[in-house]
Structure 1
Amino acid sequence: MDHLPEAATAFAHVRVPFVDEITFDAGHFVSFPHRVGFNNDFAARSVGDIAALAQGWLYFGTLQVFLGVNFDRNEFRASHPDGDHVSSRPLRQLLTSWLLTKVIPILGPEVVTKTSRSSALELYQSKKSMLELLETVLKETDALEVQPQASSDPLPVILLSVRVLVATLSGVLEETISQSNFSLLEHNYNPGAIEKLRFMDGPSKMPKAATANFLSNEMIANGWCPFMACKVLSSYNYVVAYYISRLRPYNPANHDLCSENGCVAYNVDMSRYHSKHVSPDCDCSHVAPDAEQVRSIIREGGIPIISITFDEQEPKLNVIKMTNKTPYITFSHIWSDGLGNPAANSLPRCQITKLAKYIKERRPPNSPLSKESSIWGI
């Protein structure tokens, strides 16, 4: 699945084993399993047999029918100490060739005005046939997902590669052959541009499918929260879900107590909560605003704003009433970051100083904040 883009700090692509046992014969697509000896006896077959069928038929066979040309599938073979695996990088060049030979001669910007209506309609009919093929592939993949061997390696990752291929090809069709736009906007369409892939099939359609479980387990093993993994798998197609699964969580935490129903990693236990200092060995005193001034402004229906000023390098918190012209900066998620205080309206002096420095260094140019002598926050 390495035809898809890879973020600089992402986990490596999942390796899909290369199973070189069954080759699609270019005959009738749906009846292919029968021609190679599968007579509705999938439940009695080994996981290796089904994996070989899935890859030879639903992956390479689908690609062969879609492209309309024969290709050497050994071009997709990549060596690895753990065994050969499938590298889908050649897919980009194959799709580029398909675009240059099948689509641009009919719908390219330079020839579209000369294209006959019959040629265009023939291309649109071809698109319809290919989408029907991809829908068939998904149905056959669904059928394999319910087999008793579906959760046994290497079947989940092979079926996942099929679903990612289908989402990729459907996205290419929708982007390059469109009746609403009778010309191509780009000559060099990049099939790896995930933001252009249209939803066709997603894990949410089969929440307990082996492929969805595989992605979920991958994300959880890589530090993602089960709740977030479930949200990703129920919101995006397999291409986007797979891409996200390779990203590193931006804010790692312990999600051992989390579930698909919710994340509790950042919940605050008020009985054991302590405000954090900037460094573990710091034990500086707390700084607090005038509590009566805060209460007075609230009683009047106003909003208290705290400004940080310094008196001989000692931070001081001043309280004013906010107006519609008062510039201010807010901080979110303060409790989960250790900047809450269940006992008093105060924070360690080191944290106040750090916040003041942070705001000062990051004030936008020409902002009203840059004209104030004090730094505002709430």
Structure 2
Amino acid sequence: MLSLLCPSPPLISQRNSYFFKDCIWLGATHDGYPRVPLDEYTKSRRGHGRADIDIVSEAALSQALFTFGFLESVMEIKIPENVLLRTRDDGTRVMTCENLPHLLQTWRSRIRSLKHQDIQRCYEWADRVDKITGQMYKLLMLHVMHPTCYSPIFICHRQSQLSFPDIAAIFNVIASIAYGVTVSRRIFPKMPPSTTDWTFMLDLDKSVENDLVKNGWCPSLMRIFSGSVCLLGYVATCQPFTRDWMPGHAECTRSVCIIHNIDPSNYVNRHVTATCNCTYAKPALEKIMDLLGTGDIPVIETCDSDLLGTSNGMRTPYVAISHVWSDGLGSTSEVGLPTCQISHLARLARHLITNGSFWIDALCVPKQSDMRKKAIGLMAETYRRANVVLIIDAGIRSCALSASPEEKLLRIITSAWMQRLWTLQEGLFASKLVFEFSDGLAPLEDLLPRTEEELTGSPLLVELALELHRMRKHIQPPHSITLGDAAQSLRWRTSSRLADETLAISGLLNVNPVDLYDLSPQQRMRKFLIQIRNLPPDIIFMQGPKLEERGFRWAPATMMTGHQIAMSASAEEHTAICTSDGLFSEYAAVYFPDIVMQQQLEWFVRDQRHSRRIYKITDMSEESSGNAKYTCNTLLLRRLPGSSEVKSCVAVLVLPESSTQCADGTTRFMCEYRRRLLLTVLAEDEVGKINDIKSVIQGNSGHMQVLIS
């Protein structure tokens, strides 16, 4: 008989870790030329005296530059065409990913060898790789963000010489190659994590996402899949899990999955098997309330009758069960659960700890308001004290331990458990996290890539494991979770009761949920942020609705935004101070005379400090509504952008005569939040396209310490 707790198979998968479709090769000749630096690649292939070549040839050269040219520059070897190109039966040549994993593996082996032979040369090589990657990133940004000016590939499409699906496939291949290099570069000694994000190239084509939704995947998961260079292609090879007792995702949107939202008035518990019709069992309510009343944690100890035995979790080892109510295990102490489910939970608990005691909200949290409040106040401690936290989710349980490492991680990150609000702290506080699969249990550590080769050799495994690695971050020194950490993990989650957000994460940030329990949702968030006090300055750039509380119009009303979060997770970067009057921090600033804006989608500011620099300001804010006017005179950013960069900024109104001298001699300005905008530095050839250059606002730039209200 298979042991319920059994080791996972080795992580290294025999399946290809790169998933991009073959793309058309536009015909550039790569073989026969010497290896040259990236910035000389196209010049060396144009030939002497051939400055002007046709646009199709230019597009072909661009494709060769971004693939062969980039790989040769970072690997510092010559790469023959037949490594990445193959000829189809119909005679067309395509670029394929078949040999890319081996190519990158060989590169990593050379880096390891050099580390042992000459560490200084290895450091120098790492610096060259980072410089080349930076060049590649800026060049690709120009091609994708300004296609009609800089991209021969896009110009071919405009001239009907190249289809849009072909363009999307070409850039998908380029993104995959670039991401593979970015992951493999970690093999260099003392290499800091890369901040380069190649996913901007994936927004060109949504056909893969549309096909996934048609195949039954929830539209809300596309937000996760589209944030990964290699994940979309892999998911296209897998079937989604569907709960046969629930409707599909037809009513879900890209913003939110609704099928796990529960209506308590018609909620029905599920039995272990569809034919079971057993009775319910529950603990003695008085015992549960007595334990909660003294600040103790009630746990289920004996399950051999309809009246379950309880004990004090402060003195008894126990397993905490983490689950989602949509799987049918929701209830209260007063109602209890079907005995078949309780027997199943007890059996799992006995495999994990000797005495088999367990805690589950369905049995240990009463419905009665005052006792429920006490149980919620103890929730963080409940999961922190548990010997094991066991995850039970129907989607994860649909997968076997013998499945590939990629599939097991995919089932976890797409599970309902990973998408619900309350389960976040349950996973983060666990000292040992165990998942139930169809044929056994597996601890999280056995599912994550750990070795150097796993972390650098399989970008797909790394992408799948990112969110789960974040859940283990607090176990390492300094054992703390920041607001940035919490926001990153919350962004894709939701809840049947959105007002519970701060209650569900307060324990993570050392805020007592009891202090928030009786407040309105907006007041909860305000008090929550004040009690945390140290926030990342980039919190003001978050997408999504804002608080309407005075002094806090910069603050997010929710962190379950459904958007990528740019907020820093580093405690060292939580330098903004939240007070009852607003947020005190320092920002880069572009300032100008007061202007009144009214639903103006684009406007321009000239930075007189950099006389040739003009910023394009784009209002794509979800805060825009109707003909609402706003007055502003300053744009705040974390840093001024480089050429053609797009940065989030915030329009504020610095109040007249509001400056005050700080103790360190600096000046602080009072300002009022207006809205979130996007700022782009125009390329020189775009400046001439502004219809009325006189309409450009004259401004300046610098740094400001501000108190934002």
**Could you say whether these structures have the same fold, taking a TM-score greater than 0.5 normalized by the shorter chain as the test?**
yes
Distance 1:349 1:82 in 2: 65
What's the counterpart of residue 165 of structure 1? 177
What's the counterpart of residue 189 of structure 1? none
What's the counterpart of residue 223 of structure 2? 230
Aligned to 1:154, the other structure's residue is in SS state: helix
What's the counterpart of residue 37 of structure 1? 54
The answer to whether the 8 Å contact 2:283/2:336 transfers is yes
Q: Which moved more, 1:120-129 or 1:250-259?
A: 120-129
How much does 1:274 deviate?
0.9
Partner amino acid, structure 2, of 1:318: L
Superposition map of 1:14-29 within 5 A: 14-23=20-29, 28-29=40-41
What's the counterpart of residue 131 of structure 1? 133
2:332 paired with 1:332: no
Q: 1:69-105 deviations in whole A, cap 9, x for unaligned?
A: 251247531658998653323334545666778x678
Q: 1:97-117 deviations in whole A, cap 9, x for unaligned?
A: 66778x678x4423x28xxx7
Q: Which moved more, 1:319-328 or 1:298-307?
A: 298-307
2:352 to 332, 354, 363: 363
Identity %, equivalent residues? 20
The answer to whether the 8 Å contact 1:223/1:248 transfers is no
What's the counterpart of residue 71 of structure 2? 63
Seen in structure 2, the aligned counterparts of structure 1 residues 144 and 224 have a Cα distance that, compared at 3 Å, is farther
Q: Write 1 or 2 for the structure with the bigger share of strand.
A: 2
Partner amino acid, structure 1, of 2:137: E
Distance 1:35 1:197 in 2: 41
Distance 2:308 2:109 in 1: 68
What's the counterpart of residue 264 of structure 2? 270
What's the counterpart of residue 156 of structure 1? 168
How much does 1:36 deviate?
4.0
What's the counterpart of residue 249 of structure 2? 255
How much does 1:165 deviate?
0.9
Distance 1:10 1:63 in 2: 19
Aligned to 2:328, the other structure's residue is in SS state: coil
The answer to whether the 8 Å contact 1:60/1:73 transfers is no
The answer to whether the 8 Å contact 2:18/2:176 transfers is no
The answer to whether the 8 Å contact 2:85/2:93 transfers is no
Q: Which moved more, 1:334-343 or 1:351-360?
A: 334-343
How much does 1:210 deviate?
1.2
Distance 1:129 1:292 in 2: 67
Q: 1:277-324 deviations in whole A, cap 9, x for unaligned?
A: 2222222222233334434444555443333332xxxx3333435252
Partner amino acid, structure 1, of 2:301: S
Superposition map of 1:207-222 within 5 A: 209-210=203-204, 213=206, 216-217=209-210, 220=213
The answer to whether the 8 Å contact 1:298/1:304 transfers is yes
Partner amino acid, structure 1, of 2:308: N
Distance 1:122 1:302 in 2: 58
What's the counterpart of residue 287 of structure 1? 281
Partner amino acid, structure 2, of 1:288: K
Aligned to 2:249, the other structure's residue is in SS state: coil
What's the counterpart of residue 316 of structure 1? 306
The answer to whether the 8 Å contact 1:306/1:376 transfers is yes
Seen in structure 2, the aligned counterparts of structure 1 residues 248 and 75 have a Cα distance that, compared at 3 Å, is closer
Aligned to 2:352, the other structure's residue is in SS state: coil
Q: Which moved more, 1:146-155 or 1:320-329?
A: 146-155
Aligned to 2:300, the other structure's residue is in SS state: strand
Seen in structure 2, the aligned counterparts of structure 1 residues 156 and 363 have a Cα distance that, compared at 3 Å, is same
What's the counterpart of residue 201 of structure 1? 197
How much does 1:162 deviate?
0.1
Seen in structure 2, the aligned counterparts of structure 1 residues 171 and 377 have a Cα distance that, compared at 3 Å, is closer
Seen in structure 2, the aligned counterparts of structure 1 residues 72 and 298 have a Cα distance that, compared at 3 Å, is closer
Distance 2:124 2:309 in 1: 73
Seen in structure 2, the aligned counterparts of structure 1 residues 249 and 268 have a Cα distance that, compared at 3 Å, is farther
Distance 1:349 1:130 in 2: 63
Seen in structure 2, the aligned counterparts of structure 1 residues 352 and 221 have a Cα distance that, compared at 3 Å, is same
How much does 1:54 deviate?
5.6
Partner amino acid, structure 2, of 1:202: W
Structure 1: gaps spanning 5 or more residues: 39-44, 182-195
What's the counterpart of residue 185 of structure 1? none
Q: 1:337-373 deviations in whole A, cap 9, x for unaligned?
A: 101247951222222222222323x224xx4x26xxx
Seen in structure 2, the aligned counterparts of structure 1 residues 124 and 152 have a Cα distance that, compared at 3 Å, is closer
How much does 1:144 deviate?
7.2
Q: Which moved more, 1:12-21 or 1:321-330?
A: 12-21
Partner amino acid, structure 1, of 2:187: E
Seen in structure 2, the aligned counterparts of structure 1 residues 137 and 173 have a Cα distance that, compared at 3 Å, is farther
Seen in structure 2, the aligned counterparts of structure 1 residues 121 and 341 have a Cα distance that, compared at 3 Å, is closer
2:343 paired with 1:353: yes
- How does the TM-score come out when normalised to structure 2? 0.38
Aligned to 1:306, the other structure's residue is in SS state: strand
How much does 1:10 deviate?
9.2
How much does 1:275 deviate?
0.9
Partner amino acid, structure 2, of 1:62: F
Seen in structure 2, the aligned counterparts of structure 1 residues 231 and 92 have a Cα distance that, compared at 3 Å, is closer
Aligned to 1:165, the other structure's residue is in SS state: helix
The answer to whether the 8 Å contact 2:282/2:333 transfers is no
Distance 1:252 1:7 in 2: 26
Seen in structure 2, the aligned counterparts of structure 1 residues 300 and 343 have a Cα distance that, compared at 3 Å, is closer
The answer to whether the 8 Å contact 2:21/2:173 transfers is no
The answer to whether the 8 Å contact 1:22/1:57 transfers is no
Partner amino acid, structure 2, of 1:352: I
Seen in structure 2, the aligned counterparts of structure 1 residues 172 and 283 have a Cα distance that, compared at 3 Å, is closer
Seen in structure 2, the aligned counterparts of structure 1 residues 259 and 197 have a Cα distance that, compared at 3 Å, is farther
Distance 1:8 1:223 in 2: 27
Partner amino acid, structure 1, of 2:178: V
How much does 1:268 deviate?
1.2
* RCO higher in structure (CA 8 A, sep ≥6): 1
Distance 1:104 1:11 in 2: 21
- TM-align CA RMSD: 4.6
Seen in structure 2, the aligned counterparts of structure 1 residues 100 and 251 have a Cα distance that, compared at 3 Å, is closer
Distance 1:293 1:98 in 2: 64
